[in-house]
Amino acid sequence: MKAVILLSGGLDSSTVLAIAKNKNFDCYALTVNYGQRHTIEIERAEKIAEISGVKQHKVVNLDMRWIGGSALTSDIPVPKDREEDDSIPITYVPARNTILLSLTLGWAEALGAHDIFIGVNAVDYSGYPDCRPEFIKSFENTANLATREGVEGRKFKIQAPLIKMSKAEIIKTGIDLGVDYSLTISCYDPDEKGKACGECDACKLRKEGFLHAKITDPTIYI
Amino acid sequence: MKAVILLSGGLDSSTVLAIAKNKNFDCYALTVNYGQRHTIEIERAEKIAEISGVKQHKVVNLDMRWIGGSALTSDIPVPKDREEDDSIPITYVPARNTILLSLTLGWAEALGAHDIFIGVNAVDYSGYPDCRPEFIKSFENTANLATREGVEGRKFKIQAPLIKMSKAEIIKTGIDLGVDYSLTISCYDPDEKGKACGECDACKLRKEGFLHAKITDPTIYI
């Protein structure tokens, strides 16, 4: 059976790819180059796809910078040492996961794949609305109304295996499945060689994850 | 109040733009260049946006040809004089409206617009699943779970004012609102000057629409 996996080159999506592989899916990886600050993430995604033995890896160019309104795709500075609160941070990209899942859905339908894997997480979720279970469930419903496959009864399933896991649990799962986390990049603001800033929300979550998992953090910080 | 309108340069979306303008929205038009067979559609969309006095018109490049599986974005020939039946035709592009609405949603959120207009039609809908009311309703629900605006209670509304109209009703509505249909292109397979083939599903629906509306068809056929 075929599955399409959204692969950013980060810790979470690389773990999800390993999970899908472990479930014996034929894996098709999709990476969207949406105008991230550094293309090093794309290079890492290519490397991870290659060593994971995916059937096909597509890198799609979709510049999201024209959308505006996010520190990840514009000139707004990425906040460092942000205090934790309940607000949605400036790194939120409007409708990002809806856009990414839509593209994945299109490819999945053309491939004849009915399982779509995404590495969203609602525990350490940084406050993004499109990482919550109710969003994933609703997108799945929409997908099955939107497509020939869904309408004809061959339903799509949006699989978000990390959604209720802590970062430490994700890391332990990935280590058990042989993920090489030194290749993955989580940082919102890495340098051109992929070294992590160590201070943004994503770096802090990642650091704490390795700490709690009692696994040596292979990340190279600036 | 701001609204974002998906504008393809076709008859339906041009009518929708006129409807949104008539409702006194400040109109922002979005055209997606997804690798259609002819870029004449993009040129027409630009012309229509300009004469409609939109606040801003964005043309976004998102090649959908890599998705595969459709006559509109690949080398599969567009069928001519197809017999009418209940099947979904080969011109169906997997997940197209989900992708288009997702992009629109992202821009709408960044702009502070909460009304999104799309020219889908479920009467003369050519059999596409993503033109049905249940899809539109489900996408709206997903949009309000996916976004900061939705989560914080400033809900998005997906407006599909043509969804239950016949082609003739759409044309009569547009004529009343001053739409110049000679600028619009419906044909799936126009020549490089924008002349319509007259034989594809879209041309047949359009022809019949003008006939039933008792309005002279300004379309130039090959």
Environment class of B105 (CB within 10 Å of its CB; exposed 0-12, middle 13-18, buried 19+): buried
**Mean model confidence pLDDT for chain B:** 90
Tell me whether residue B89 is in a domain: yes
Tell me whether residue B218 is in a domain: no
**pLDDT tens for residues B198-215?**
998 889 999 999 999 999
Tell me whether residue B25 is in a domain: yes
Rounded CA-CA distance A142/B134 in Å is 9
Closest-CA residue to A107 (of A32, A178, A21, A15): A32
**pLDDT tens for residues A121-152?**
987 656 789 999 999 999 999 999 999 999 99
Tell me whether residue A52 is in a domain: yes
Residues of chain B contacting A94 with CB distance shorter than 8 Å: 105-107, 109-110, 147-148
Tell me whether residue B219 is in a domain: no
Tell me whether residue A48 is in a domain: yes
Give backbone dihedrals phi and psi of B25, rounded to 5 degrees, phi first.
-75, 150
Residues of chain B contacting A69 with CB distance shorter than 8 Å: 109-110
Does the pLDDT of residue A52 top 80, yes or no?
yes
Q: Which of residues 62-121 of A touch B (CB under 8 A)?
A: 62-64, 66-69, 88, 92-99, 101-103, 105-107, 109-110
A47 vs chain B: nearest CA distance in angstroms? Answer: 21
The answer to whether the CB of B184 falls within 8 A of the CB of B44 is yes
Number of domains in chain A: 1
Rounded CA-CA distance A97/B98 in Å is 12
Task: Return the biggest CA–CA distance within chain B.
Answer: 52
CATH number for B19: 3.40.50.620
B174 vs chain A: nearest CA distance in angstroms? Answer: 27
Does the pLDDT of residue A54 top 60, yes or no?
yes
- Residue-level length of chain A: 222
Which residue type, as a one-letter code, is found at position A124? D
> Are B147 and A103 inside 8 Å of each other by CB?
no
ipTM score of the complex? 0.91
| Structural domain for A54, as ranges | 2-180
Nearest C-alpha in B relative to A150:
B129
Does the pLDDT of residue A153 top 70, yes or no?
yes
Tell me whether residue B80 is in a domain: yes
Rounded CA-CA distance A37/B78 in Å is 40
> Are B97 and A146 inside 8 Å of each other by CB?
yes
Does the pLDDT of residue A67 top 90, yes or no?
no
Tell me whether residue A216 is in a domain: no
Environment class of B56 (CB within 10 Å of its CB; exposed 0-12, middle 13-18, buried 19+): middle
Environment class of B5 (CB within 10 Å of its CB; exposed 0-12, middle 13-18, buried 19+): buried
Rounded CA-CA distance A155/A114 in Å is 7
Laid out side by side, the sheet with B115-117 consists of B56-61, B26-33, B2-6, B115-117, B157-159
Does the pLDDT of residue B95 top 60, yes or no?
yes
